[in-house]
Amino acid sequence: MPLKAKICGLTTPETVRAAARAGASYIGFVFYEKSPRNVSPKRAGELAAEIPASVVICGVFVNPSDEQLKATLDHIPLDLIQLHGQESPQRCQEIKNRFKRPVMKAIAVTTAQDVAVAKTYENTADILLFDAKPEADQKNGLPGGNGRQFDWRLMKGHQWHIPWMLSGGLDAGNLEAAAAISGAAIFDVSSGIESHPGAKSIPKINAFMAIINKDNI
Question: What pLDDT, in 10s, does the model give residues 12-22?
Answer: 999 999 999 99
Q: Residue 141: is its pLDDT beyond 90?
A: no
Asked whether the whole model's pTM tops 0.85, one would answer yes
- Residue 11 has a CB neighbour count (10 Å cut-off) of 19
Segment 68-91, tens digit of pLDDT: 999 999 999 999 999 999 999 999
* Confidence band for 137, pLDDT divided at 50, 70 and 90: very low
Q: What percent of the chain has pLDDT over 90?
A: 87
Q: Calculate mean pLDDT across residues 135-153.
A: 65
Q: Distance between CA 106 and CA 128 in Å, rounded?
A: 6
CA distances 179 to 118, 203, 209, Å, are 20, 21, 14
Segment 19-75, tens digit of pLDDT: 999 999 999 999 999 999 999 999 999 999 989 999 999 999 999 999 999 999 999
DSSP 3-state of 58: strand
Q: Alpha-carbon torsion 74, 76, 79, 85, what sign?
A: negative
The architecture (CATH level 2) of 4-212 comes to Alpha-Beta Barrel (3.20)
Dihedral (Cα; 191, 197, 202, 207), 10-degree rounding = -30
Query: Rounded to an integer, what is the distance from CA 144 to the centroid of its chain?
Result: 9
**Residue 136, pLDDT score:** 55
